[in-house]
Chain A
Amino acid sequence: MGEEKKKKKKERAPRQEMTRQDPKKRIMNFNEVALGYSEETAVIEASRCICCPKPKCVDGCPVLVDIPGFIKLVQERKFVEASKMIKETNVLPAICGRVCPQETQCEIVCVLSKIDKPVAIGRLERFVADYEAAAGEIEMPSKPEPKGKKVGVVGSGPAGLTVAGELAKMGYEVTIFEALHKPGGVLVYGIPEFRLPKAIVAREVDFVKKLGVELKTNFVVGRIATVEELFEQGYEAIFLGLGAGLPWFLNLPGINLVGIYSANEFLTRSNLMKAYLFPEYDTPLKVGEKVVVIGGGNVAMDSVRTSIRLGAKETHIIYRRSRKEMPAREEEIENAEAEGVIFDFLVNPVEFLGDNEGRIRAMKLLRMKLGEPDDSGRRRPIPIEGSEFEYECNTAVIAIGQGPNPLALSTMKTLKLNKWGYIEADWETGKTSMKGVFAGGDIVTGEATVIEAMGFGRRASIAIDKYLTTEEW
């Protein structure tokens, strides 16, 4: 018995790695770093799943993808079917497979993780979505019975796309209003090409459009039309998926020196405006020889890795706590390390110093030590008095997070906001204080993940359908 068990354990294949571009090569280009599974590695990885009768992974997924179900199909090499199964609950699998933090959601609760590494659910999701697209077999769901009702969705990020897609599938006439010239929200302006190719975003947006969703870009709600005016135009429910969208700067002397960027600006120039292709594209993005990125999240990793590719000679992450407390995904930290990023822990800027032309030339950093855990459960950084020192740099990117952008919100006087300025909405339904107005994603939760925004969107789409069917608020 004991021997048999031992034998079985031996048989299980190790967690399959994805091939990645060589770090030395990839820092010279913006192509995707992770290259995905082959059919063979996907089947091997899928075979590691023991298909538990009571799978915990599904509960770990904000949109409740039938994970064992689709993995079983991969085991049977029914890749297209597997992708379709995911799409029943998740309209953007190729994106989620790439940017979801599976290690804290579905994979962390995988039964295997108790005795071995968990099943690589995200990599499999990515594989089947890409397989389906490459096979050219993207099949549209059958056309629903039209409901004869219009819904407006403000913002085309993960939350908005999900709401729009789900409602279109139910037969609603959906219009998405997007302020920028390209749809996708954070997926196009925030996440770099080397982590999420824009062709994939375009493909997923196209899928939502094919579901019948109308997309109006360059449409700033709050300026060109208020939410009240959209109701007057015949929209019967409005979903606000505005994203966070207001960069936080450090309130420190010298913060407005030339060469100090918000991560939003830095990434928007590179991703949305394609500054990495300057001068073929008109938008420039200047990086100095020594770049520092302040912050320890995924956005900080995206910024620092972008700066390497733009030609920075030396790149640093400046983080006030230690590696353990960094909110970035482990995979992103490893990628950054492999690309030569230097991590400076337990330091925090207190001042930025400029040259005669008003360009940043250095920062004053203060050393920190870790104290007791704070509200976030992470150990609080405590400044060490008198430990200030000067630290040279030519470019600084502030990646310490963002708050709610008030542009649209300020035009909605009766919309209730919480003390941080985010929309007060029910987390199950997305209902706000304004009748017919729903909200979800970062503008409600504060900065969170793509999949959480999608989960919110999914729940809101069900609530919107219920509201428009029953007319009960």
Chain B
Amino acid sequence: MNQIVQKKRIAEGINLFEIEAPLIAKKRKPGQFVIIRIDETGERIPLTIANADKEKGTITIIVQVVGKTTEHLGTLNSGDSILDVVGPLGQPTHIERFGTVIAVGGGVGHAVCYPIARGMKDAGNYLISIIGARTKNLIILENETNAFSDELYITTDDGSYGRKGFVTDQLKEILDSGKKVDLVLASGPAIMMKFVCLMTKEYGIKTIVSLNSIMVDGTGMCGVCRVEVGGKTKFACVDGPEFDGHEVNYDLLLKRLATYKEEEKLAYDKFMLKTKDK
């Protein structure tokens, strides 16, 4: 069960896994995620379902190495299995024909944006994609996104590829061009989503963000993923993960994401030491 049928390194420190999960593949909709646990001593982490193949019965997840669990995942290969994969969780994206939609994906956050953007395109929207990253070899899914986007822009912080600057620079240019934009989607680091939303609020454009809170069960049972949206407490796992970006308290999100910083480092260092010994 949950066997990895394909593993591909798609950028520096970013792997794509295609996993056998026929029931999830059949049910999932854009915007939903799975929770995985690699082995008996593993933790439960949420990962967006980037793609699914109903016929093959597989789902695709895209994972950047950021800590122990993702590092460990990166050591797995085609043929290996993941102990637990549960989903599809979360509310699917509300997809309809809005008109013109801009999808902004930052770093590995573009893996979250990607299925939603595709859903928007399939629903008949004019789709503009912006993919941003720190540097060229962190850009993911460029060709795949290009295949269905009406316009595609790349930005890198260091200018090694595409436009030099942040996704917000590109976004501003489009918004200033006078084009009528009906909806913006944003997914990436909390700080990026915050700045995208500050900008789109100014322009009065509805913006949906997908939040990457810490989760345990993913079914609304524990409340660790709670976020403040419009001053109200919401659970990202069952009420989200997508919310009205203009209403989200990003500072709180950032602080809550940092809850286990020290423990995460400890677990990572311990894992690296162990793998080095081998």
Chain B binder among A32-40, A140-148, A264-272, A342-350: A264-272
Complexed CA–CA distance, A259 and B266 (Å):
19
Whether B221 pairs with A282 at a CB distance below 8 angstroms is no
Whether A224 pairs with B221 at a CB distance below 8 angstroms is no
Q: In the assembled complex, which residues on chain B have CB atoms less than 8 Å from the CB atom of A264?
A: 221-223
Interface of B, secondary structure class, is mixed
- B263 at the binding interface (Cβ < 8 Å): yes
- A432 at the binding interface (Cβ < 8 Å): no
Chain A, residues 280-292, CB within 8 Å of chain B (1/0): the string is 1111101000000
Complexed CA–CA distance, A283 and B88 (Å):
22
Chain B binder among A162-170, A242-250, A297-305, A327-335: A242-250
Chain A residue total in the interface (Cβ 8 A):
42
User: Which residues of B227-255 are within 8 A (CB) of A?
Assistant: 227-228, 233, 238, 251-252, 255
Minimal beta-carbon separation of B133 from chain A (angstroms): 28
Chain B, residues 78-115, CB within 8 Å of chain A (1/0): the string is 00000111111100000000000000000000000000
Pick the contact of A181: B84, B260, B266 (CB < 8 A).
B84
Interface of A, secondary structure class, is loop
Whether A269 pairs with B41 at a CB distance below 8 angstroms is no
Closest to A280 in B: B41
Closest to A244 in B: B221
Minimal beta-carbon separation of A383 from chain B (angstroms): 23
Chain A, residues 166-177, CB within 8 Å of chain B (1/0): the string is 000000000000
Minimal beta-carbon separation of B217 from chain A (angstroms): 6
Minimal beta-carbon separation of B75 from chain A (angstroms): 14
Whether A279 pairs with B270 at a CB distance below 8 angstroms is yes
User: Which residues of B5-47 are within 8 A (CB) of A?
Assistant: 23-24, 27, 37, 41-44
Q: In the assembled complex, which residues on chain A have CB atoms less than 8 Å from the CB atom of B227?
A: 256
Chain B residue total in the interface (Cβ 8 A):
42
Q: In the assembled complex, which residues on chain B have CB atoms less than 8 Å from the CB atom of A246?
A: 220-221
- B163 at the binding interface (Cβ < 8 Å): no
Whether A256 pairs with B256 at a CB distance below 8 angstroms is yes
- B259 at the binding interface (Cβ < 8 Å): yes
Whether A286 pairs with B44 at a CB distance below 8 angstroms is no
Minimal beta-carbon separation of A371 from chain B (angstroms): 30
Pick the contact of B259: A180, A249, A286 (CB < 8 A).
A286
- A20 at the binding interface (Cβ < 8 Å): no
Whether A282 pairs with B69 at a CB distance below 8 angstroms is yes
Whether A179 contacts B217 in the complex (CB less than 8 A), given A218-B86, A220-B86, A265-B223, comes out as yes
Minimal beta-carbon separation of A72 from chain B (angstroms): 43
Pick the contact of A358: B37, B221, B223, B252 (CB < 8 A).
B252
Pick the contact of A179: B69, B86, B255, B266 (CB < 8 A).
B86
10 cross-chain pairs, A with B, having the tightest CB-CB distances, nearest first: A358-B255, A284-B263, A265-B222, A282-B43, A218-B86, A262-B223, A283-B43, A181-B84, A281-B41, A245-B221
Other A-B pairs beyond A220-B87, A264-B221, 5, CB < 8 Å: A245-B219, A247-B221, A249-B223, A262-B222, A407-B238
List the interface of chain B (C-beta within 8 A of A): 23-24, 27, 37, 41-44, 68-69, 83-89, 216-217, 219-224, 226-228, 233, 238, 251-252, 255-256, 258-260, 263-264, 266-267, 270
